[in-house]
Copies of this chain bind each other. A is one copy, B any other.
Amino acid sequence: MVKLQKSIEKRNALIKATIELVNNSGFHATPMSKIAKMANVSPATIYLYFDNKQDLVNKTYLDVKAAYTKHAFATYHEEMSVEEGFEIIWKRIADFKLKEGENAMFLAQCDNTPMIDEHSKQEGIKHLQPLLDLWERGKKEGIIKPISDYLLYAYAINPLSFLVVNQKRGVFQLDEKNVLEAYEAAWNSIKK
């Protein structure tokens, strides 16, 4: 008996449509029917892949967050020095935010909005552990300021979200020069 399987492509198309439409209109202004149409399926089909609208957006968030952190740590090794490691990770993150603007936008909206379950948010954070470990090491070595990880993240990483959102709005353009300046600012803000 050949087991038919719900196509992974359909799931991906739904996730992709969700990201694009939520970016442009917001969660509640995006009807399931539009998501279905963009993914070329019937509205009813969505419910074969996700429990409901909330589940769809939660899963989308986790998918994107996973892709984000996977990209961030792809070239990082724990043997690297703190400074080198941070630069590697930071630039990968910047790379992600630049190349995957839609995904980055989506995360920004999720993180500043009550649209994602708190539980899923917690889940999404877990993937960041390597960066927190790196900072821990940096603090011990006296290279990174001994301050809360939230502060470090707020100054080292989060500004990229602001820049991406404004780039999407068309009022600001991120280019190679900008990125270098941004890295400088990020490092200056957290280095001891």
Contact = CB atoms under 8 A, between A and B. Distances in A.
A25 to B, nearest CB: 6
Given A29-B28, A112-B113, A113-B113, A162 B153 contact: yes
Given A25-B114, A189-B189, A159 B166 contact: no
Copies per assembly: 4
Given A118-B169, A155-B189, 5 more contacts: A23-B114, A26-B28, A29-B114, A155-B186, A158-B159
Interface of A: 23-29, 108-109, 111-115, 118, 121, 145, 147-148, 150-151, 153-155, 158-163, 165-166, 169, 171-172, 178, 181-182, 184-186, 188-190
